Amino acid sequence: MKQFMQFLKDSPVCFYAVKNLKSMLQESGFEQLALHEPWSLQENGKYFVTLWDSACIAFTIPDDMQQVKAPLYRLIGAHTDQPCLRIKPCAQINQNGYCKLNAEIYGGPIFSTWLDRPLSLAGRVTLKSEDVFHPRTELVNIKKPVLIIPNLAIHMNRGVNDGLALNAQVDMLPVGALIPNLGEEQEQMVLRAVAEQLGVNQEEILDFDLFTYVTEEPQIVGFHDEFLSASRLDDLVMVYTAAAALTQAKGGTGINVLCAFDHEECGSRTPQGAGTSTITYIMEKISYALGRSREQFIDDIMQSFMISADVAHAVHPNHPEKHDPVMKTQLGGGPVIKLAAAQSYVTQSCDYGVYEMICQKAGVPVQKFTNKSDSRGGSTLGPVIAANLPCHIMDMGIALLSMHSARELMAVADYEYTKKSFLEFYQQ
């Protein structure tokens, strides 16, 4: 758990999640491959590729490819991004003595949870280079609290406790400075901070992908230390447990794969997202490098099995009426299989039954979740992946409270339960 909490702390945005995932894999003997070069894969080999700095596909080859058993590919898919605020290119707004940042909403955050919290910025910066088709990129993390979104005082908003409607363009702009403190460079606050952090001239910066994050560290909570309160549990808890299982798994009879996609929170329809053919192309490249025919590859795909690993809803202590009257998923009750008749979660008993048996073998409790029948729930990676990867897929996750809040809550026990189930999956 301590290692996971450190991973959360060190991964304020998707780019750093992939950077730290890369380090974790390399420390376990994984070799990085280039997408645009031929691959030479060996039995018992461990490999990974990164996609646009914000997604990662890692895989291991079994000891003896002659002894593999269907499903050949055993995949776990999760995502590296989280709801937050993204800074617009023309970032600075100077009004009424304050310097604010022009921001837009990324994904579906709970607006009110971002108010009155110390915030910082992290992301990717694109810099000039000699080759116009290959600009330089650097990751940047301001690290210290530099922003805050102040609430309107109750004296000026008497109905605030009766229900609060926040406007993304008006109420969600973070303050970063007082104008008198900016000096002559009133339009350069963000660029100046980024340039100083990277040790480059402002003129070298072409543009950036910068996101806000909460600076408060992950914290164990509860009279019996049973809870973890942290930002970005959705979905870094699934990324990390899958990566930990992949690096520790031994003796499996298939190709184990971790797919850490980006952009799930805004639809997945990007080259590094789950809604494109990228993972299928990577699996075909693996198949070709192992000398398998096109027909074998198609057969392998159809028989493969993916666990779509995203977080799930726990029954709320103050609002049990929002949940199904019977299936009330508990924190600490083990991983959650997610079901939906509308297929917003990929639902087939022949597939989620597989995961139930895996949990039984691992000695792990397992739960099931469905939305209340008169409520529309969310969706996740499973249905998106199924459009391009026609294999066996089931949706599951760790139960959370406060999903999409600036800080979310999970049970410590569910971390170990889920990791054990993933290990059992990979070692079958």
Provide the pLDDT for residue 277: 87
DSSP codes, 225-290: S-EEEES-HHHHHHHHHHHHHHHH--S-SSEEEEEEES-GGGTS-STTSTTSSHHHHHHHHHHHHT
d(CA 218, CA 402): 15
DSSP codes, 37-87: S-----TT-EEEEEETTTEEEEEE--S-GGG--SSSEEEEEEE---SEEEE
Using omega within 30 degrees of 0 as the cis cutoff, is the peptide bond preceding 235 cis? yes
pLDDT in tens, 264-298: 998 888 888 888 888 999 999 999 999 999 999 99
* Of 82, 20, 2, 83, the residue nearest 56 (C-alpha): 20
| Residues of the chain with confidence (pLDDT) below 50 | none
pLDDT in tens, 8-33: 999 999 999 999 999 999 999 999 99
Helix axes 412-427, 349-362, angle to 10 degrees: 110
φ/ψ of residue 284, rounded to 5? -65, -40
d(CA 292, CA 257): 18
Provide the pLDDT for residue 28: 97
Provide the pLDDT for residue 164: 84
384, two tokens:
């998106």
Q: Name beta bridge partners: 92.
A: 101
Provide the pLDDT for residue 268: 84
Q: How far is CA 373 from the centre of its chain?
A: 28
Give the number of other Cβ atoms within 10 Å of residue 389's Cβ: 21
Provide the pLDDT for residue 187: 59
d(CA 252, CA 109): 39
Q: Provide the CB-side half-sphere exposure for 346 (13 A, CA).
A: 27
Provide the pLDDT for residue 256: 96
Contact between residue 191 and residue 88 where contact means Cβ atoms under 8 Å apart: no
